[in-house]
């Protein structure tokens, strides 16, 4: 993202990307999406799923660390830490494969939604 202030439509689009990442990771991890936005850290599987969702929101949709933090109720330094942990975990081939699959699914879903916008009733 550039340094130009985002308008309301851009903010909604970015929040939608973060929610899409959150829902996708939560479904893959079999965790309720609301747990990823909980105020507390939660158990290790929840914290890891949240870290992956924040990472994917940043990488797949290009959201700034500050914007990702706002979408997940976290500070940008927490998002930076999460992204570093997830990036380090990509050394494992299984994790790399899973993250690539999730990122591809997010990009495909985003492209599909952009190509076929629906009217809001």
Listed by start position, the domains of the chain span 11-111
CA distance 116 to 110: 10
Reply yes or no on domain 11-111 having CATH 1.10.1750.10: yes
DSSP state, residue 5: P
Measured in degrees and rounded to the nearest 5, phi and psi for residue 67 equal: -65, -40
Per-residue pLDDT tens, the chain, 121 aa: give them: 444 556 777 777 788 889 999 999 999 999 998 888 888 888 999 999 999 999 999 999 999 999 999 999 999 999 999 999 999 999 999 999 999 999 999 999 888 777 665 544 4
> Could you tell me the pTM of the whole model?
0.84
Quote the tokens at residue 27: 């479904």
Asked whether the beta carbons of 109 and 60 are under 8 A apart, the reply is: no
């Amino acid at each position: 993202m550039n340094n130009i202030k985002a308008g309301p439509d851009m903010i909604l689009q970015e929040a939608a990307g973060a929610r899409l990442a959150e829902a996708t990771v939560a479904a893959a991890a079999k965790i309720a999406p609301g747990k990823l936005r909980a105020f507390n850290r939660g158990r290790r599987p929840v914290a890891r799923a949240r870290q992956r969702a924040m990472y994917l929101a940043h990488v797949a949709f290009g959201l700034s660390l500050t914007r990702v933090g706002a979408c997940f109720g976290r500070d940008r330094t927490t998002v930076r830490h999460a992204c570093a942990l997830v990036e380090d975990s990509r050394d494992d081939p299984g994790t790399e494969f899973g993250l690539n699959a999730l990122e591809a699914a997010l990009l495909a879903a985003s492209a599909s939604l952009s190509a076929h916008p629906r009217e809001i009733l």
